[in-house]
Structure 1
Amino acid sequence: MLGTTMQRNHSLSSDSLVQTSGMVDALISNVLENIRLQGAVFFAWRPSWPYATGVPNERYFRDLILPASDQVISYHVVIEGPCWATVEGEPPVRLDGGDIILFPHGDAYAISNQPRDPSDKDIEPARQFFTLMAAGELPLVIENGGGGPGQNRLVCGFLGCDRYPWNPLLDGLPRYILLSRSALEGPVNDLIDIVLRECGHPWAGSRSVMRRLGELLFIEVIRQYCQNEGLTNNPWMRGLADPLIAKCLSLLHGRMAETWTLEKLAGQLNCSRSILAERFSRVIGVPPMKYLSQWRLQVAARLLRERPDKILSIASSVGYESEMAFSRAFKRSMGVSPSAFRRSSQSAKIGENRD
């Protein structure tokens, strides 16, 4: 899936989306809550030219900063450009002052003053850097590069998230999202200003504040994407712009534990089973019942990580009538039983807290 560049485009707005704004807000909030964002690393970067820094695929450094997360998402706010970003296998893109670039799938990429592809040679330097940063042994402002007269200024954020077994919003995002600050609306610009002030005058608790700001910035970037580009490029967001599909999604998310059938859903929506099945599958990409099964397991995975409840209690809360049926479905999707998944998550969390 290719990257996307977002400029302000009000023609992408949908009357249907506006009419159901409360429902849409609840759905987006529900999906974002179930990726369990965790701020990991956040810092200001002032490289002088020439420079080229590669960030390998997140699997090479996730264990160093957030072992309890499924994936690391990274983004960069360009305060002073120009510079270049190159995602593995994609053409380089120019970044100017005010741009924000987000890498939602943890792909390898490089940031440099001239276009440069990421490389396997980036892996070890990146691991060394993240080891020191996670241990608090590096300052909040990193200055490096070739020492020339040219310079860039960026704010860099790395977040952990839970995206398995399935998150419909994240899975539908492109390999990168590039937003121009001139196109941004709402509090995102205020957050960037707060970040710059915090970097410029760090004091007690700054690292914790920066991590939380990083989480908020990510959410704001996703909101901006959803309100604009997401209406045409993201299957799940297209569903929210369709009144019938949006109401169906609202039922499946809001009453997840209910015993749903296609016939019951269609009855609640005052439409035929065939129309609902065809339209939902065409817009979202999977049938309604498969969507519900996948989302139940996504929520169950979060509950197993966060709560000490018995497996049967969690199974019931997401709509399974028996622990055995839930365990079979969970293992088929995740490759491990619910109890083994919980033990693994708790071990990773202990290691993360020790760091």
Structure 2
Amino acid sequence: MSQLDPLSDVLRSVRLRGSVFFHVNCRDQWAAYAPAAKDLAPAVMPGAEHVIEYHLFVKGEGWVAVEGEAPLKVRAGDIVMLAHGDAHVVSSAPGVPPAPSDDPEWLFKVRNDPKPIPVTYRGGMFEQGLLPDGDASTELVCGFIACDLNPFNPLIAALPRMLHLPAEGVGAWVAPMLVHAAAESSGQRAGAEALLQRVSEMVFVDGARRYLDSLPAETRGWLGALRDRQVGRAISLMHEKPGSPWTLEDLGHRIGLSRSALHDRFVAMTGLAPMQYLANWRMQCGARLLREGRASVASVALEVGYDSEAAFSRAFKRATGMPPAAWRRAQMQPQPAVHQA
């Protein structure tokens, strides 16, 4: 089994939902402030547990800055992902003050408009609409990706705050596809919104894969662990059969490490003991089964490795704060209404 399968497992499990939201024109001196994604979520991704913002520079260049980190220079064809949902500034140069919005509620007012929504930044000003063809020195496509954090999503914490995906890197086919999808949507063609959503999700998947491929040997964290021959194999085994009665001895025997050596190496790489990782992943698998199917709680418990419904329910409540049946009902509720301006 490939060691990339746990990444696919997590990506399937955390319900990626994408949206390309803005087509941005810029010229002269310009800067745009993006609030923390959790503050934007009610308008762009209602009900999302976690929101990631990304920017594709279609034309020109600029800078992306997050507080506490060095500004990042970005060129045409590059994508920058804010995996942790940090507030940030996108600008023509570091230190340019962001343009104020005349109406702080404008995003809520346009949230149902056809996507991508056209906006312009120029000369320290913000306005809705695009510049005439050829007048923009910089063009961006900006979108959002929502995913679940709970019960267990090891991927988000393993990504950097700013994930830079250069145009010339492996997987550079995604950026042109995103531009094409945005253009299709602007033309109001049938199915354009669904296309934008899927390509937006592909941006995140491609970014995670490219980041994994770029990591140096012995990198720690969950993604680094996937590349470790022994720890990655142990993770793959647990993902392949989360309901099996795994023990440290079983896993160690399968990958050629003693019980203590596996425990120590696993903790050093991931920050979790192997059995704690397994318990967390079982909760995520259980959550997916509860949400997507009609199986009884008892059946779900057995499928993810628990001998009794009661034991699974106790573990699930510790992980999510709710018993499985109540959690399932909550997932079936309509998404909360977005803020009305």
Q: TM-score, normalised by structure 1?
A: 0.82
Structure 1, unmatched stretches of 5+, are 1-21
Q: How far 1:333 moved relative to its partner?
A: 2.1
> Which residue does the alignment assign to 1:316?
302
Distance 2:301 2:330 in 1: 19
1:235 aligns with 2:214: no
Offset of 1:51 from its aligned partner?
3.2
Structure 2 equivalent of residue 97 of structure 1: 76
Structure 1 vs Structure 2: percent identity of aligned residues?
Answer: 34
Measure, in 1, the Cα distance between the counterparts of 2:14 and 2:210.
Answer: 18
Name the CA distance, whole Å, in 1 between partners of 2:253 and 2:331.
40
Gaps of 5+ in 2: 125-134
- Whose helix fraction is larger, Structure 1's or Structure 2's? 1
Equivalence map 1:7-156=2 (5 Å): 23-116=2-95, 125=104, 128-129=106-107, 131-135=108-112, 137-138=113-114, 140-146=116-122, 151-156=137-142
Shift in CA distance, 233/351, structure 1 to aligned 2, threshold 3 Å: farther
Measure how far apart 1:64 and its partner are.
2.9
Match of 2:131? none
CA distance in 1, matches of 2:187, 2:114: 16
User: Is 1:278 aligned to residue 267 of structure 2?
Assistant: no
1:132-281 superposed matches below 5 A: 132-135=109-112, 137-138=113-114, 140-146=116-122, 151-185=137-171, 187-192=173-178, 194-195=180-181, 197-198=183-184, 201-229=187-215, 233=219, 235-281=221-267
Output the amino acid matched with 1:134.
R
Distance 1:94 1:249 in 2: 36
Secondary structure (helix, strand or coil) at the match of 1:91 reads: coil
Following superposition, the deviation at residue 156 of structure 1 comes to 1.0
CA RMSD, 1 decimal: 2.8
Shift of 1:343: 2.6
Query: Which residue number corresponds to residue 129 of structure 2?
Result: none
1:99-141 CA-partner distances (Å, limit 9, x unpaired): 110011111112222335999x88x83x531x34431x25535
Q: Cα gap change, 1:241/1:139 in structure 2, threshold over 3 Å: closer, same or farther?
A: closer
Amino acid in structure 1 at the alignment position of 2:106:
Q
Aligned residues: 326
Gap change, CA 1:187 and 1:152, over 3 Å in 2: closer
Q: Which position in structure 2 is the counterpart of 1:8? A: none
Greater alpha carbon shift after TM alignment, 192-201 vs 97-106: 192-201
Question: Shift of residue 71 of structure 1?
Answer: 0.7
8 Å CA contact retained: 1:55, 1:118: no
Distance 1:88 1:349, change over 3 A: same
Partners of 1:230 and 1:223 in 2: how far apart?
Answer: 14
Are 2:20 and 2:115, in contact at CA under 8 Å, matched by a contact in 1? no
